[in-house]
Every structure is written in structure tokens, then in C-alpha cells.
Amino acid sequence: MNAPLPAILQVLPALRSGGVERGTLEIAEAQIAAGFRAIVASAGGEMVPALEALGAKHITLPLTAKTPWAIWRNAAALAALARAEGVALIHARSRAPAWSALIAARRLGLPFVTTYHGAYNEGFPGKRLYNSVMARGDRVIAISHFIADLIRARHGVDEARLRVIPRGVDPRRFDPALVSAERLAALRAAWGVAEGQPIIMLPARVTRWKGQMVLVEAMAQLPGDALALLVGDAAERPAFQAELQARIAGLGLQDRVRLVGHATDMPAALMLADVVVHASTDAEAFGRTVIEAQAMARPVIASDLGAPRETVAEGITGWRTPPGDAAALAAALSRALAMTDSERAALGARARAAVLSGYTTAAMQAATMATYRELLR
């Protein structure tokens, strides 16, 4: 009887929608393609069926819990799981489960990898220590050079352990040539968008730091008939959604700014846009929506802080504006909307080429697997 294939265990709080969760599935897919068994431990969520459809195994554990007792209990459960499944390496993607994963990995003598996904807040005593688990891997993956610099400054991680692996987009899905007229027509009908109307799009969860209010204020300063679509789930922040809607009404922008909710067909949604806005007022660790828009050859205006400084080349693949500056955003929008078709096409082509050269899912998968192999020799 053949011995089972070695397994790699990824650990995160839950498998709900989000960039961390999507990255987990993408790396599970790469693990399976490379001949490993892919196992993910989390508290579950709506992305579990998609994970299992890849051929990966999901183990449900209460990994959203953050109390010291829960961390130790989860450490014991992860150690037992790793022994039973023949796990060769543990990869943690969030802080509380990372503490459990670190304890389990050290107990079993297994390699331990972390992905440092955010510019974690250090607003109260002890928070840096809590965050430091993400810098304790045998390899520490930073999802941008911005995050790598933060890790060096906060935690003093030596270069031998640090790897910069940017997030990626799948150009087979985000390809302007593959979006049919029918898909565009369906979205236009659903969102009440008139043919030929200039469209400004901000794709992000509806939450204050993502900058929807900044765009609303910019729209009040932007002449013309352009329509701003705020694309993203607002369910978690009903109070902020109500505040947004009140401000839109107060500025008389009901016909020019629209909250359209979550989009299931993001490639088609982005194709509707004449310009895509990233208006975050806090630094983004990466900002995947920026490269998704660029992959669809859309002009992007991004906040000039965090990782978008790496992905948006000023005047070449888009523009950057000071975070929270509605007047500067309005001026950039006016400039973008005034571009000729040929200028917009040229900028979009440069943006897509930049994504294809440095920010694909395949490149992220290959670099992550290479990092694993450094520890599995």
C-alpha cells in the first residue's frame, strides 16, 4: 500500500469572503497541483464548498476564539490533527490561530510559515506582542513591500526569513476580451445604468476607512453627469451605510451616487467603469481590487499610501491622490474622464501589462510553493 502524500495545513479564523480567504483557496489549489494534500482548519464559512471542490480537506475548529484558554485548546487540536494527517508544514494567516499553530508546530518540530496580511493596529499595550506571532515563522511572507518594511521596523525580522510575495489576480478570469455584451447588459439593467453614461466605480466593503464618503464628497465637486457606483457589501456597517445615504441626499446626489451592493461578477462590473477608485483612508496592506481593475484595463485612481504606491504608477497605469482629499480626487476624476478613447485604451493596456508581469495568481502560487520547498528539503 502506498504511503499517503504529505499534507500542508493552512490555518485561519474562518472561510468567509475576503482576500485572506481567497488567498487560502488559491494556495490550496497550488499545493494539490504540486502533489501535496491540502488541509485547511478554520471555523467554517461560505467558502468551504469552493475549497472542497478543489480537492482540499476542511477541518472545523473554533479558530475565531482569542482567549488564552482557547488558543491553548486549539493548539492541542491542531497538533492532534497534524499528527493524524501527516502534516509536513503549517501555514498560519491570522494572529489568534497563528499562536495556536505556532505552539503546535514547535511541539511537533514542524516548519512554520506565516503570511503577514495587514498593517495590524498597535493602539494599546501588549498589542505588538500579540501581533508578533505573524513575524515568528521560519518564513514570513509579506504581501507587499510596504508590509515588508513594516515587519522590519516593528519586529526586526532578518532577511533570511522574509519573503515578499504580492497578491495576484487570475488573468484567465479578469480578461476584458472574455466579458460578453450579455453580462454587461445584465449588470446595466440590474443597476439602472444608462448606455453611454460615464461610470465611476469604487469596489470595496462599505466601511468608513474604505473611503466611500470621500468619493461622495468628490462627486459634489465634479461637474457633469458621471454616475458613481459604490459596489460592495454594506451589511456589516448599517450605521455607516445610513450616514452615507443621508450625506448623498444632503448633497442632492441621489441621481449621481448609487450603492448597488455586492457584485458576483466583478470582471463585468469593472468593465462597466470608465474609471475605478480606491479611496482608502488607512494604508492597505495590498489592495487586490486595484490590480483586478488594472487587469481589466481600467484607469485607476488610488490613495497615495500603503501598497497601491507599488501597483499604481503615477500617470502611467493610473493616478494617486492624497488620502481623504475629496478636492484632489475630484480633480483626478475630471482628468480621467476627459481622456480620449485612445488615451484610455493606452493607459489600460499599460496597466494590464503591469499586472501580467508581476501580479498574477500563478506567480503568487509559484513563489509560495518555492518558499515551502525551502523548508521541506
Residues 6+ apart with CB under 8 A from 129: none
Q: How confident is the model at residue 239 (pLDDT cuts 50, 70, 90)?
A: very high
* Mean pLDDT, the chain, whole residue set: 95
The pLDDT assigned to 361 comes to 97
105 residue type, one letter: A
Which 3 state secondary structure label does DSSP give 228?
A: strand
313 residue type, one letter: A
Name which of 78-82, 234-238, 310-314, 349-353 the model is least confident about.
234-238
**Largest Cα–Cα separation, the chain:** 73
On the question of pLDDT at 17 being above 80, the answer is: no
Q: How confident is the model at residue 304 (pLDDT cuts 50, 70, 90)?
A: very high
The pLDDT assigned to 237 comes to 85
CB 54 within 8 A of CB 34: no
341-372 tens-digit pLDDT: 999 999 999 999 999 999 999 999 999 999 99
The pLDDT assigned to 19 comes to 85
The pLDDT assigned to 377 comes to 82
Correct CATH for 7-168+360-375 of 3.40.50.10440, 1.10.760.10, 3.40.50.300, 3.40.50.2000: 3.40.50.2000
The pLDDT assigned to 233 comes to 85
Spell out the domain ranges in the chain. Answer: 7-168+360-375, 176-358
Q: Is 0.95 topped by the overall pTM?
A: no
Q: What percent of the chain lies above the pLDDT cut of 90?
A: 91
Homologous superfamily of 176-358 in CATH? Glycogen Phosphorylase B; (3.40.50.2000)
Helix count and strand count (H, E) for the chain: 15, 13
- The strand pair at 227-231 and 57-60 is best described as unpaired
The pLDDT assigned to 3 comes to 60
The pLDDT assigned to 199 comes to 97
